[in-house]
Chains A and B, each alone.
Chain A
Amino acid sequence: MAADLNELKGMIESALPGSTAEVIDETGTGDHLRAEVSAPQFEGRSRIDQHRLVKAAVRERFDDGTIHALTIKILD
């Protein structure tokens, strides 16, 4: 089941109000994705906490197996 990139973008942006997210399919197979995110909520947090926020936003799609790998790039 291929991930819906727009849905993931929406999940991140609604979980983190004011953020912008770009979700890219790195391998063309729909399950190894890359998210580039900037968000006001990242301010003052460690890298791992920033990643946790993004992962939490799309956790449902990890749990149902839609996504196997998500590379997160935080844009400062």
Chain B
Amino acid sequence: MADQELTDRVRELIAENQVLLFMKGTPSAPRCGFSMRTVQVLDSMGVEYGAIDVLPALQPLREVTSEISDWETFPQLYVNGELLGGCDIVEEMFDNGELAEALGVEQPAETEPAAPEAPASDEPYKSPPMSIEGS
């Protein structure tokens, strides 16, 4: 039986954030390859999203998501209050264009074009795939 207070809080977060990712680590410092891949897909879509690091409360959050979404592995991507899926579903929906549709955005071009407004630099900007940051 999941903790009621935590369950209520999770339900609130899902309702308040149009796009919400429960992940291991943070977008700038993912702690799991599947979470990292999901972040990379979301970043390529250019949407704003909320991210919750599940690691500090992994087991209680598993119980909560198991109860409200019948799903206990992370990452989990919620769009408009519904669980869309984990890493493999998100990647598949990205590939076939369904993710863009669900998010209400244009499918990004196959190869990432250099942003025309971006200041000139030696290398195109890429978010670091994994980085350690002081907390």
Residues of A bordering B, CB below 8 Å = 47-48, 51-52, 71-73
Contact = CB atoms under 8 A, between A and B. Distances in A.
A49 to B, nearest CB: 9
B71 A47 contact: no
Nearest to A70: B73
Nearest to A74: B92
A71 B88 contact: yes
B70 A51 contact: no
A48, A52, A71, A72: which has the most chain B beta carbons within 10 Å? Answer: A48
Interface residues of B, number: 9
Nearest to A34: B88
Interface string B56-90: 00000000000000110000000000011100110
Nearest to B92: A47
Nearest to A50: B89
17 contacts: A47-B84, A47-B85, A47-B89, A47-B92, A47-B93, A48-B71, A48-B83, A48-B84, A48-B85, A48-B89, A51-B85, A51-B89, A52-B70, A52-B71, A71-B88, A72-B88, A73-B88
B61 to A, nearest CB: 17
